[in-house]
Structure 1
């Protein structure tokens, strides 16, 4: 049961003139312990560090600890891993740097769609449809990743308003998204759901048209197989947390809505090739591990990768990597699959008052009320682990 998980109750770090020490009840001072190994952190953002645009109060204290005010007297490696997105990594880093009050290098920030950089070469000369974001923002991001022939649903709507007559584009949007190309003759090889779509109706309509036409927008004259059109979703989250009291529907909700419509329209056609990325998928956590390894090498911290068989069964993994998240479905489940440890905080999606227990696959190693407590608890656990 979650209530039996270790928490930070009665554990605090005390700064002295010489060092810090961990003072849980009845424990020895850190100076009598073996040299502890340094942990490495992977942080979710929404519901952990921020709630909407608001920085949660414990966040800045947590990063003071990571930047050197800790028992190791050194910088502790960390990266950000979010199922959010919608803009470039440069833009996101600038915004988060402004909010947190220190510079965040771009190599530490992984959005849900950052991993698409690694597959862009497969679609170098092929047409792709990009969903999500505002205006042409994600088209620009896709171009920066290496995709060359990129369209979004507003481009298609500007080409032929009849495809979804319930939206009227402004004159500015017509200028921005207009094309002289006959899009009915364009073969789309992939539909990339980068971020949460802004208009589910338009995007579901265009997706279904392309899939029923085996990559073409024109209404099919016969039933085609849709197996050569790849559909990639970057974020499986059904829910996410902002300033609103209750969780909001995310990209996972959009996928469920599209699947419901598609099941009634496909008329015996094969389903497309569907790839799900984002937390908790192995692909995303493997990508994050490579990024974290680079950051840790810069700080001369050695990473230890545990076994997924250990997590949940033994209570903790031998890994010194900790995922700090608020969503058991994505953050914690993914960490367990990767063989990492995890800390579930209570400032976001998960509320222990409403869900007092979790299945083993989504059960965290530790639990804390907020991110500062999570960081302090991890440091205490790593010190204890090396005794």
Structure 2
């Protein structure tokens, strides 16, 4: 049973949004400064909401086209995509998703778990950093596109000294992706876990070496309280589970974090201090709101801001918990991680919907019924 404050979406007595005629040709013939801002904006998770694995979910295209103007209120409604995924550049990912969904998604609308790391690029621009996750050196190139100049991977470390982790023999393809460095003379200032690591054993070993020595692979271990400049450790995605096209959820970067911390605690007796980004963290939701604010100012004028934000997600622990913490409206869909047969969600959303189209219909109808001046 659902919590008493949550009811499935039931269309109102007037014609549904799906059944009304659409005509995009008359949309926005005035310039941007004269456009009236809609009373709401959307933030969508991707996996389990718009797509599942490589496949587009059936109602996703209709939902996004509705926001592009195919709605009875004759207005576009701004939205961004906020995912705990990543591993490649935002431009590449937005182009791929635009092709799949049949709508143009601008790079500025696509926030991955690690997009927020652009904010740190100036501070670490000239310092050696280690990046984890993704295939070969792809996340290195993402970090460099953000402005980081001295970026290394654990494959670089393994190529430098194979005895760092003797249980993995580096392949020719992996070796071709490496950058040469002497890690005994290259103190690493920070470790950024951009995306889900591919070789947990190598990565846990390398990070343990770095944080116990103050940044030198193979350096003497020094208690954390005696280190003059401890290595900063930043995780971008706290998700323990995520939904792919496999029948049951898969473990994610949050599981890698727990594995690393368990090993580090077994070695030292403590967990290593770290910074966490990604949903449901406050920093990530603030970053998403700032991004939507910039879109509103560009489209509707300098003083425009989104009045009501709607988060549509499939994971109560990340999407819904984060939205509730940020005091946004939240809609939980049944097409991803959340399984209603396992009981009510751990974090109660504003609404539960069958799919993303039902979520969008409900939110639009709810806000525009309260704001008839926008009709």
Residue ranges of structure 1 left out of the alignment (5+ in a row): 20-34, 305-318
Residue 341 in structure 1 maps to residue 329 in structure 2:
yes
Displacement of 1:95: 0.7
Conservation of the 8 A alpha-carbon contact between 2:6 and 2:352: yes
Conservation of the 8 A alpha-carbon contact between 1:235 and 1:276: yes
Counterpart of 1:265 (choices 267, 270, 277) is: 267
Conservation of the 8 A alpha-carbon contact between 2:159 and 2:178: yes
Residue 74 in structure 1 maps to residue 75 in structure 2:
yes
In the alignment, which residue of structure 2 is the partner of 1:313? none
Residue 380 in structure 1 maps to residue 368 in structure 2:
no
Displacement of 1:329: 0.8
Displacement of 1:170: 1.7
Between the aligned partners of 1:368 and 1:142, the Cα distance in structure 2 is: 37
User: Which SS does the other structure have where 2:297 is aligned?
Assistant: helix
Conservation of the 8 A alpha-carbon contact between 2:243 and 2:249: yes
In the alignment, which residue of structure 2 is the partner of 1:237? 239
Taking a change above 3 Å as real, the CA distance of residues 36 and 84 of structure 1, as seen in their structure-2 partners, is: closer
Conservation of the 8 A alpha-carbon contact between 1:192 and 1:232: yes
Conservation of the 8 A alpha-carbon contact between 1:233 and 1:276: yes
Between the aligned partners of 2:288 and 2:366, the Cα distance in structure 1 is: 23
C-alpha distance after superposition, 1:323-351 (max 9, x if no partner): 00001111111111111111000000011
Displacement of 1:386: 3.5
Residue 355 in structure 1 maps to residue 343 in structure 2:
yes
Structural mapping, 1:62-211, within 5 Å: 62-177=63-178, 179=180, 181-211=181-211
In the alignment, which residue of structure 1 is the partner of 2:7? 6
Conservation of the 8 A alpha-carbon contact between 2:316 and 2:345: no
In the alignment, which residue of structure 2 is the partner of 1:365? 350
User: Which SS does the other structure have where 1:45 is aligned?
Assistant: coil
User: Which SS does the other structure have where 1:75 is aligned?
Assistant: coil
Conservation of the 8 A alpha-carbon contact between 2:262 and 2:271: no
Conservation of the 8 A alpha-carbon contact between 1:7 and 1:367: yes
Taking a change above 3 Å as real, the CA distance of residues 296 and 2 of structure 1, as seen in their structure-2 partners, is: farther
Aligned residues: 352
Between the aligned partners of 1:368 and 1:346, the Cα distance in structure 2 is: 7
Residue ranges of structure 2 left out of the alignment (5+ in a row): 25-35
In the alignment, which residue of structure 2 is the partner of 1:15? 20
C-alpha distance after superposition, 1:180-210 (max 9, x if no partner): x321121111010000000111100000011
Conservation of the 8 A alpha-carbon contact between 1:143 and 1:150: yes
Between the aligned partners of 1:280 and 1:262, the Cα distance in structure 2 is: 25
In the alignment, which residue of structure 2 is the partner of 1:328? 316
User: Which SS does the other structure have where 1:42 is aligned?
Assistant: strand
Displacement of 1:36: 11
Q: Cα RMSD between the aligned structures?
A: 2.2
